[in-house]
Structures are given as C-alpha cells and as structure tokens.
Amino acid sequence: MLDFLPAPLKGTLVALLVLASTLLLYPVLLFFSLLKLIIPITPVRKGCTVVLNNIAYIWIGFNNLLMNLFHKVEWDVRQTGELSRRHWYFVTCNHQSWADIPAIQYVLNSKVPLLKFFLKKELIWVPLLGIAWWALDFPFMHRHTKEQIAKRPELKGKDIAATRAACEKFRYTPVTIFNFMEGTRFTPAKHQRQNAPYRHLLKPRAGGTAFVFGAMGDMIHTMLDITIVYPDGVGGFWDYLCGRVRRITIDIRTREIPRQFRGMNYEEDREIRKAFQAWVTELWREKDQRIESILSEG
C-alpha cells in the first residue's frame, strides 16, 4: 500500500502507469483489430473479439490494481441479484463525476460483459480509436435529425433499422450497454437551471435509452440500475487518481426491462412514449430517495 505518498505524486504515478499500460497493450489490440477487419471469416472475427475483450479486461484490471496499490478507498457495494458474463445487460447510473466510469469499472470488471457505449457513427473515422471501437464491437448509432427527415421523408425509420442491424452481432454474444440517462454530470448550477424535481439528480433524458431499447429489440431483458454516491463529497477524475476520494458507495439494483419497451417505436408510438417516460420518471424518483437515504447514513 503506497497510500502514504503525497496526493499529487500518487496521481502522477498512477496516470503514468495507466499511460504505460495503454501504450503496451494498444499495439496488440490494433493487431487483432486489423486482423478482424481484413479477414471477414466469422470464426476468425469471433476469435479476435474474444482476444480483444480480454485485452480490455486486462487493461481495466491493471487500473484497478493501481487503485488498490496507491489508494485506500472504502468501497460500499450494495447489490441485488447475481451478475454473469454470460448475460446481456443495460446499465444506467446517475452522473456525479468523471470518476464515475472508472469506479463502476472497478466494481463490474469481469463480472459482466465488457461495458460498451453507443457512439455516433462519425466517430468510426477517429484515427486509431475508431478501428479499436469497431473491433471491440462498440455499437455505432445512425441518427438523422428532424430537419434531415423533413427534407427527405424516406429517411424516416432508417436510423433505428440501421442501428438494429448493427446490433445483430450481440444476439449471440453477451454485451453490457452503458448509458448515463442524465446526459451530463450533476452540478448545482445545472440542477438550478433545469429546475429539476429531484434533490440529487438532473432530469433524465428518456430518448437516448429508448433508442437503445428500440435498437436492441428483445436481446436485452435486464437493467442494472446503478446509484453512485460519494459520501464525503464529489471529487473529479484527478482527485480519484490522487486518492482524495476516500469513500464510494455503489448500489446495484437488478431490474427486468418491461416487455413493452423492448424493440419499441419510441418516436412514432405516443402511448409507448408516455408510458416509457413515466417509467423512467419513477426510476429517477426512487434513485433520488436512495441517494438521500445513503447520505443520511453519514
């Protein structure tokens, strides 16, 4: 345990070691990514996917090891239901800090399939990263704006169809799709600007999650409703690297996704849209009460 080191020194060392592991693993990841790209044979691509996911597990595992070595974090993990890497999940969480993602990775790594995010299709052209995201099977969204659809009505419905086709590979390979429903980090200023009806949360954006449920169809039945709380106050990503974040509570609730929302047409079906928004609102009301209860424990 190197917790005795000065915080800025710890943060610098952790950042350098994370960078070193990234530089060490990236050429291997890039090799199997290119192999997967140039050899369009299903067994080869599936084998490359397994290798690539394990590279990501190793990278996250090394980051977690650094946290244990350099920092003394008191983890309070509360979980309902069993987790499995052979199951399909949708994960959502309140967004407090840039430290949320590494904290959630710390708790979930190797317990569920690799966390993946829906990305805008334009990001596939980002040098180096684009091919890595593609190789790791991060799903790319095909979204048309209302203005584009107004000019070209034939585009209506094409986005969800294209994204659904891109997600077909997940039908036989378990996946964990991650999405922050709030869309941005909580701050008092944003909370006041929104006039949010919650004490500790911003208003959830139902549309993004509805798009995921519509695109994934009946592949994902289970949602992990995660609530993250920093009892001693929210710190930034640098605070997390420096070990200034001493206590983290992560509450994981396993929920069945209602059948009516799997593969739904959120944009066109008004009744489904109202029902889904009501469901999300109730989730957020419960989450807000949960945060208040955790904070009241001191």
The string of pLDDT tens digits covering residues 72-85 is 899 999 998 889 99
Question: pLDDT value at position 159?
Answer: 63
Cα–Cα distances (Å) from 224 to 107, 115, 125, 175, 289, in that order, read 13, 12, 31, 13, 17
For residue 50, being part of any structural domain is answered with no
Q: pTM, whole model, 2 decimals? A: 0.88
For residue 241, being part of any structural domain is answered with yes
Per-residue pLDDT for 146 more than 70? no
Give the contacts of 102 (CB within 8 A, at least 6 positions apart).
63, 67, 237, 240
Residues 180-209 have a mean pLDDT of 92
DSSP lists the bridge partners of residue 256 as 222
- Please count the residues of the chain: 298
Question: pLDDT value at position 27?
Answer: 92
DSSP lists the bridge partners of residue 78 as 251
Per-residue pLDDT for 281 more than 90? yes
Per-residue pLDDT for 1 more than 60? yes
Q: Considering the chain, what is the average pLDDT of its residues?
A: 88
Residues 197-211 have a mean pLDDT of 91
For residue 181, being part of any structural domain is answered with yes
Which of 42-46, 109-113, 230-234 is predicted with the least confidence, judged by mean pLDDT? Answer: 42-46
* Token pair recorded at residue 104: 């959630």
Q: What percent of the chain has pLDDT over 70?
A: 91
For residue 248, being part of any structural domain is answered with yes
For residue 12, being part of any structural domain is answered with no
For residue 30, being part of any structural domain is answered with no
For residue 142, being part of any structural domain is answered with yes
Question: pLDDT value at position 279?
Answer: 96
For residue 265, being part of any structural domain is answered with yes
Question: pLDDT value at position 268?
Answer: 82
Per-residue pLDDT for 155 more than 60? no
Give the contacts of 223 (CB within 8 A, at least 6 positions apart).
89, 90, 91, 92, 254, 255, 256, 257
Provide the domain count of the chain. Answer: 1
149/121: higher pLDDT? 121
Q: Which domain holds residue 96?
A: 74-296
CA angle 137–143–147, rounded 5-degree value: 170
Q: What percent of the chain has pLDDT over 90?
A: 59
**Which of 152, 90, 163 is closest to 120 using CA atoms?**
163
Question: pLDDT value at position 147?
Answer: 67
